[in-house]
Amino acid sequence: MKKILRLKLVVLIVCFVAIGAFVLSASDCKYDNGNILVPIVTEVRLTPAQATLTLIGQQVTLTAAVDAFNGAPNTAAFSVEDTNAATYSINGNQITVTASTITTSIVRITAFSTFDNTIRATASINISVPLTSDYLNITERVVAGNLIRDVVGMTPLGGQQTELVIPEGITTIATRAFRNAENLECITIASTITYIGEDAFEDAVNLSSVIFLEGGRLETIGVAAFAGTKSLTHIEIPASVRVIDNWAFSDSALESITFETGTRLNFIGNHAFFYNKNLKEIVIPASVTEFGLGPFINTISLTNIQVDEANTSFISYRGILFTRLKGMLIAAPGGFVGDLVVPSQVRRIWCGAFWGAAGLTSIVLPPNLNIIGNQVFVNCIGLTELIIPPSVTDIWDYTFSGTINITYIIIPSTVTFIKGEVFQHWTTEQRIYMQGRGEYCLYVISWEAAWREGHEAKMIWNFPPMNTCLCAVCRS
């Protein structure tokens, strides 16, 4: 049976403002130098947007700002009266109150007139201890008047549990809250969670079950939130999720991922499923409109990236992900096997598109291709040749890294820009022919210096046809 978290106490921050005894009249007004009318404080308020309630160990601390309502600057000072053994401090209009978890403290804030030291208004703040748990560390804060409850980690007892339940009423799972939680096998996530923070479950290597309660409000799965979850083989993403952020499930054990009916997912981030070597199936929902860089890099077991037919932004052709009109090739599954003729409409190949596709044995690039993105053919060891069409202008960094079985490659004179370490790991047996360009061509000099680095291949300059470059050096 799951160990249900025991909630001990509930936070109440209640402001009671007493202003009935302070009714303004003409005689109440003060004058500065007999000329400028200065309003008198009629009310004192806790400013919710600046209030933070934090639980550390067995103490709760409230930090807040108090405002003199209806008062001009410097017309009021504040004092604090502790009525129940809380500790406190006040600096200007900043108040800090600390209470132990075994008490409830009522702190009275009093506003004084700085002109005549007269009490003008009071407010009482009733502080009870925040949500506490035998297993979780929870903090509370007020943002723009809204109470936010965060799970920030586990207690020593919580760290020993194999199953945990995040209770209703919690709003976020904080950054690294369950990072390296080696004993955790199952987590049940409350419907009130709206955000799972960066690295929240990173390297929780035994986590095999993530349960989202029905009616959830989760909107964002943060950067690397489930990275390195070596036992998590399946997850269903709630319909409320709009963002799967960068590296969210990288290097996890996922074999399949599904999306709840009615999903509103819009964005799948950079390398979201990087090195998911066990991922066998995925269907991109109709709601997805944007991808980051290399979302399916090195997914060596994935042979088909499917797209919902209702999606108006993307399409799948031969299991490869394209923009709807095929102007851009986004990603090929890492398990792609065989030969490929890239559709003629493609003008750009997206970053990391074929990374790790060792089964790709031949590829024909389209005649109107302009840009080959970074890391596109990394470790495509099945390729023995590749012809770059004379329409290409840009080749980005690490594009051909590890393609060690290509005998030679010709860089056409149409290429005007190359980025760093394009031919990383090429050997002395491989050849790079620069069509119509000399070693000191003005274009070549303008390329990133690192493009020549990281390889031992032989460079052949001014490969025929000659004099095709129009730069001043090559024409001379």
**Which DSSP symbol is given to 281?**
B
Q: What is the pLDDT of residue 363?
A: 97
Query: Residue 127 contacts by C-beta under 8 Å, 6 or more apart in sequence?
Result: 12, 13, 53, 60, 62, 86, 97, 99, 104, 105, 106, 107
Q: Outline which parts of the chain fall under CATH 2.60.40.
A: 13-127
Q: What is the pLDDT of residue 85?
A: 44
Q: What's the CA gap between 234 and 186, in Å, rounded?
A: 12
- In CATH, what number does 337-476 get? 3.80.10.10
Q: What's the CA gap between 422 and 457, in Å, rounded?
A: 12
Q: What is the pLDDT of residue 62?
A: 62
With a pLDDT cut of 70, the percent of the chain lying above it is 68
- Residue showing tokens 């309630």: 53
Q: What is the pLDDT of residue 452?
A: 87
Helical H runs in 307-380?
none
Encode pLDDT of 95-119 as tens digits.
Answer: 666 655 444 455 566 666 666 666 5
- Number of residues that make up the chain: 476
Q: Outline which parts of the chain fall under CATH 3.80.10.10.
A: 337-476
- Segments in the chain below pLDDT 50: 1-40, 48-50, 57, 72-73, 83, 85, 101-104, 127-130
Q: What is the pLDDT of residue 23?
A: 23
Encode pLDDT of 370-403 as tens digits.
Answer: 999 999 999 999 999 999 999 999 999 999 999 9
Residue type for position 356: G
How crowded is residue 244: how many other Cβ atoms within 10 Å of its Cβ? 26
Q: What is the pLDDT of residue 38?
A: 44
CATH class, domain 13-127, is mainly beta
Residue type for position 221: I
DSSP secondary structure, 426-467, as one string: --TT-EEEEET--TT-HHHHHS-GGGG-S--PEEEEEESSTT
Nearest to 105 by CA among 61, 49, 66: 61
Using DSSP's 3-state secondary structure scheme, residue 158 falls into helix
Encode pLDDT of 251-284 as tens digits.
Answer: 999 999 999 999 999 999 999 999 999 999 999 9
